[in-house]
Amino acid sequence: MTWFKLDNYSGLRDFSALDWARLVGDRLNIQRAIDGGNPEAVAGVFESIKTTPLKWLGSEVRYIGADHAANTATVKSMNLRRMLFLANELDSLSSFEQAADVGDDWLDSAVDLPDAVIDELLATGPASSFKHLAHVMVSIDAPRAQIIKDFTVWLDGRLAQRPKGSYKEGDYLKKAKDQWILHCAVQYFDLQLHESLSGQEIPSEQRWGTLFPGLRDEMLDTKKKKARSAAALAFSDDTYRLLRHLAYKTAS
C-alpha cells in the first residue's frame, strides 16, 4: 500500500461543513457503485482519491454552491440541471417497471399513474438523492397571503409523512473533530474501498499498524472499535444529508 499516507489526510482538521459534505458524498457514491455490482465504473475515480484523498470529485454538485438569487439555504429553484437529474432518477426507479411498456421510457407511458406524487415516488428509492427533498408547484399569481396559507397546509402534510427518528441532531463538526478525525474514520473507510475495488484483503496487522502506528495492543483494541464506529457514523446517508444542510445554513 505505497499509496496510503496518513499525512495526506492532515487537511481534515481545516474542513468546513461543505468540505465534509463533499468528501462524504464522493465516497458514498463510490460505495453505491460497488454495492450495485458496478465497481469498474468508479475504479478510476478511486485512483484519484488514492493520490489526493481530500480532493472534491464533484458528487452532488447540483445541490451545493448554487448562487442564483432565487436559491436560499433551504429552498432551491428548479433549474434545468436539477430537472434532468430528477427525470433520470425517476426513470431508474424499479417501481415503474410494471407501469411502463417493455422497451418504453416510463415517462412516456406513465398514463396509468396520472396522480402519482413525485416526492412519494422518490421516497421509495432507498438511495435516492432526492429522498429528503420536496417538489411543489406554486401559483405565484395568487395573493401572497393565500400562497402562504396553502403552502403551510402542504408543508404540514409533508412533514407529517416524515418517518419518525429519521432526522438526527447534533453538532456534526464537533463529531468530525472529536470522532472522525481522532479515530481515522476517513482513512479506515478508504482502506475498505481499496479492498472492495482491488479484491485483495489487507492483513489486519498491516491495516491497524498503518492507521495507528506505534500504538500498544491494549489501546489498539479500543481504537479498532472506535474507528469502525466513527466510519459507520460519518459515511451514512443521514450524515451526508445533515452535513449538506449544515453547509447551506453556514453559507446563508
Please write the tens of the pLDDT for every residue from 35-89.
989 899 999 999 999 999 999 987 764 444 456 777 776 787 887 877 877 887 7
Could you give the count of Cα atoms lying within 13 Å of 148 in the half-sphere of its Cβ?
3
Q: For 185, which DSSP code?
A: H
Domain ranges of the chain: 6-61+170-251, 79-134
Work out the angle at residue 166's Cα, subtended by the Cα atoms of residues 160 and 170, and round it to the nearest 5 degrees. Answer: 115
Report CA 6 to chain centroid distance, whole Å: 24
d(CA 152, CA 158): 10
Q: What is the pLDDT of residues 92-115, one digit of tens each?
A: 765 444 444 334 454 555 556 667
Cell (9 digits) for 178 = 472529536
Whole-structure pTM over 0.75, yes or no?
no
